[in-house]
Structure 1
């Protein structure tokens, strides 16, 4: 078998390890220094691999950034896709849990995304990130539409603002400035975030989405089954 020019002579496990190390190193470097202020050489040094591996695995520094965003957000995108399947009832609690677990595993991601969206230092990177976000927003629109078709949306709410309310409820705590997070007690830790998901689900059940019956006067009884369609 002929080996392609430039292909690293490494076992599959070593190649996967090198790629994963580059992803993790780039997350830290990009979120700490910004995309344009960190070189591929320094990223590779942080990852403990040769800088040529960035071009081999990702094509360029921008390709590395795109891989970070796509792969990190993949579980959320997949959950949106599952929820808009006509044979699968939308599950707001599971979606929030998936999103918050992703954030807990990648607490540097919000800072990186905010930097790219606010600074716009690099048009290519800005386009990559907004493309992924646009994809998520389109899926969220279909997700809300699935609730409408099942008549699970509270008729007292303005339909044009439902998606804004849900996205704001889920995303604001992790994208808020550090000062506000500290003042509000926000923690980018899995236990805290999953507790927030439960809290948000209760808000949705009692406000955003219709409920099959009035809530019990005793909050310890007849509590809705979280995670199932309402």
Structure 2
């Protein structure tokens, strides 16, 4: 049985402790590089015994991987669903899901970016491999699927479309505060959902040959 660290209030359950570790890892790995976050610091942030990290996740790397997996779960589930369904609204649905998810964790894209940009080393390659298992290229090949379905506009370059799609996904959450202030942008969960619909409309009218049909997101 795992050791539960006693605190004031109601007793913690095993589920509470596991979730507390996931949340603590999310906070600390966003704030600092992987190698600067200790097992002890994570346990202290979660207010549980450090031995629980090994009990639930085997290691710090296991906890890091599970934290990524659980945070990205809504997005990967949506991609799996859209890959099995009609493809017309796939980029828009992915965009909307991603914005909604990241609005709840606005600094998480910075963690993804930092992990993907780590210098080469055995440990960093392992971290990046864990990230890529959650974001495999076949699942994210939405633009290729649109092209194969013959619904991509004839004058759209596939590589440019991929870059635009990724830019719409990532840049709003990586935009420096200096630039936001310079152009008068104030972000909030409500604004990000509005931006998701706006960018979904850009995708719809910029990529699809049948752009006279409005998407469900844009009609809301």
Say yes or no: TM over 0.5: yes
Matched, 1:226 2:216: yes
TM-score normalized by the length of structure 2 = 0.82
Match of 2:86 among 85, 88, 95: 88
The answer to whether the 8 A contact 1:173-1:181 is kept is: no
1:177 Cα deviation (Å)? 3.5
Q: In 2 relative to 1, CA 157–212 (structure 1 residues): closer, same or farther, beyond 3 Å?
A: closer
Q: Which runs of no fewer than 5 residues in structure 2 stay unpaired?
A: 5-11
Q: In 2 relative to 1, CA 42–132 (structure 1 residues): closer, same or farther, beyond 3 Å?
A: closer
Distance 1:126 1:39 in 2: 19
Counterpart mapping for 1:46-195 below 5 A: 46-85=45-84, 87-91=85-89, 92-120=91-119, 123-133=122-132, 135-141=135-141, 143-184=142-183, 185=185, 187=187, 189-195=188-194
Distance 1:178 1:127 in 2: 31
Would you say how many aligned residue pairs link Structure 1 and Structure 2? 208
1:145 Cα deviation (Å)? 3.0
Give the secondary-structure state (helix, strand or coil) at the position aligned to 2:86: coil
RMSD: 2.5
Q: In 2 relative to 1, CA 124–9 (structure 1 residues): closer, same or farther, beyond 3 Å?
A: same
The answer to whether the 8 A contact 1:25-1:43 is kept is: yes
1:138 Cα deviation (Å)? 2.6
2:2 is matched with which residue? 8
Distance 1:160 1:30 in 2: 32
Distance 1:18 1:121 in 2: 34
Give the secondary-structure state (helix, strand or coil) at the position aligned to 2:216: coil
1:20 Cα deviation (Å)? 0.5
Runs of 4+ in 1 over 6 A off after TM superposition: none
Distance 2:26 2:121 in 1: 16
Q: Which runs of no fewer than 5 residues in structure 1 stay unpaired?
A: 1-6, 214-222
1:157 Cα deviation (Å)? 1.0
Q: Which has the larger radius of gyration?
A: 1
Give the secondary-structure state (helix, strand or coil) at the position aligned to 1:103: helix
Q: In 2 relative to 1, CA 178–123 (structure 1 residues): closer, same or farther, beyond 3 Å?
A: farther
The answer to whether the 8 A contact 2:57-2:63 is kept is: yes
Distance 1:15 1:169 in 2: 39
